[in-house]
Amino acid sequence: MIKIALCDDNLKSIENISKLMTSAIMELDLDAEIVLVTDNQNKIHEEMKKGNIDILFLDVDFQNGR
């Protein structure tokens, strides 16, 4: 199972992307799941240290400074 995470300072935007990705994962019958959708970089860092993320989609320009 491929574990995917999304992180962006615009939570509404990545929630919409998450829905689209989940639909595509199901439609294509992929062995993957979205395990984390957040606007908190610290949560991503914690999950990466635990080895709980295989693929990360990350906003490179956080406007809120977190």
**Which pTM does this prediction carry?**
0.83
Q: What is the mean pLDDT of the chain?
A: 91
Each residue of 41-64: pLDDT tens digit? 899 999 999 999 999 998 766 665
Q: Answer whether residue 63 is part of any domain.
A: no
Structural domain that includes position 54 = 2-58
Q: Answer whether residue 42 is part of any domain.
A: yes
- Cβ neighbours around 29 below 10 Å, total: 7
Q: Answer whether residue 66 is part of any domain.
A: no
Tokens encoding 19: 């829905």
Q: Quote the CA–CA distance of 20 and 60 in Å, as a whole number.
A: 21
Q: Answer whether residue 65 is part of any domain.
A: no
Q: How many domains does the chain have?
A: 1
